Amino acid sequence: HIKAIIIAKEVLLRDPSDINVIPVVEELQRRLAVNAICQGQDDAEEYSHVQNDVEAGEDDESPFEFRAVEVALEAICSFLAARTTELETAAYPALDELTSKISSRNLDRVRKLKSAMTRLTSRVQKVRDELEQLLDDDDDMADLYLSRKQVGASSPISGSGAQNWFPASPTIGSKISRASRVSVATVRGDEDDVEELEMLLEAYFMQIDGTLNKLTTLWEYIDDTEDYINIQLDNHRNQLIQLELFLSSGTVCLSIYSLVAGIFGVNIPYDWNTNHGYMFKWIGLNL
């Protein structure tokens, strides 16, 4: 539900007014707040703002793009984890009810839950595969250091230049110099050093992998329930076969009795069939 383009100093979101994207926008505004340092301002109020900005920069030394990626990954992983929890809450009771009573209503309920699980599992698997692909390729992770590329293309900011901005305040000048050195060292660094991004991606990879494990466990529970239902159906089918066999055996027994009676009935001689005079005698007497 989040589609964004992250560059070195900007984040472009699609449809930021959407109700599902508004929390992400607010979190981005909070985490990516930047207060400009204006050159040539020497009043005490501006010094106070600069000091607060530098101290905030010392607390969070991550590049801009990493903070933006972290906000996006946090939102996506939290959303998928919440959806998984909702499915677990609805699926386990439905499956237990289905095992106790097989009905059209329960079967339709489980069918809808399986459809929702299929879509959710596909989304979780896709996010996990993308993170795994990034973690397996150091070159791709190095390409995500946008600030490093931007600083490499321009001249770095020296500590003495930062101090010359505020000659009247050595404390602020030293803080700016220290923050600048930390920022430049963090941003420029070694081009092959992707440890910071790797740690960030691994944290969310473990989180999304845990979500996928929950869905896998739920799928296994569904498969076990289906196997149990199939066993019950096989049992009922066997009972019907036994009943059919019993009825067939009874029919055969009755047929044997009819056959015996028919055989003995055919072998009994009837003299009146050959001695017609005898029969006419008795008929005449009756008349």
Taking only the tens place, the pLDDT of each residue in 222-281 is 999 999 999 988 998 999 999 999 999 888 888 887 777 777 666 556 665 566 666 666
List the chain residues with pLDDT less than 50: 35-58, 155-189, 191-192
Cα–Cα–Cα angle for 133, 139, 141, rounded to 5 degrees: 65
Rounded Cα gap, residues 147 and 226, in angstroms: 53
- Distance, CA of 93 to chain centre: 19
Q: Residue 44's pLDDT is what?
A: 38
Q: Is 5 helix (H, G, I), strand (E, B) or coil?
A: strand
Q: Residue 278's pLDDT is what?
A: 60
Rounded Cα gap, residues 70 and 60, in angstroms: 13
Rounded Cα gap, residues 177 and 248, in angstroms: 99
Place of tokens 């209503």: 105
Q: What is the pTM of this model?
A: 0.64
Rounded Cα gap, residues 95 and 107, in angstroms: 9
Q: Residue 153's pLDDT is what?
A: 59
Q: Residue 165's pLDDT is what?
A: 42
Q: Residue 185's pLDDT is what?
A: 42
Q: 71 and 27 in contact (C-beta within 8 Å)?
A: yes
Rounded Cα gap, residues 208 and 80, in angstroms: 8
Looking at this protein, which amino acid is placed at residue 122?
S
Choose among 60, 86, 73, 47: nearest CA to 131. Answer: 73
Rounded Cα gap, residues 190 and 162, in angstroms: 23
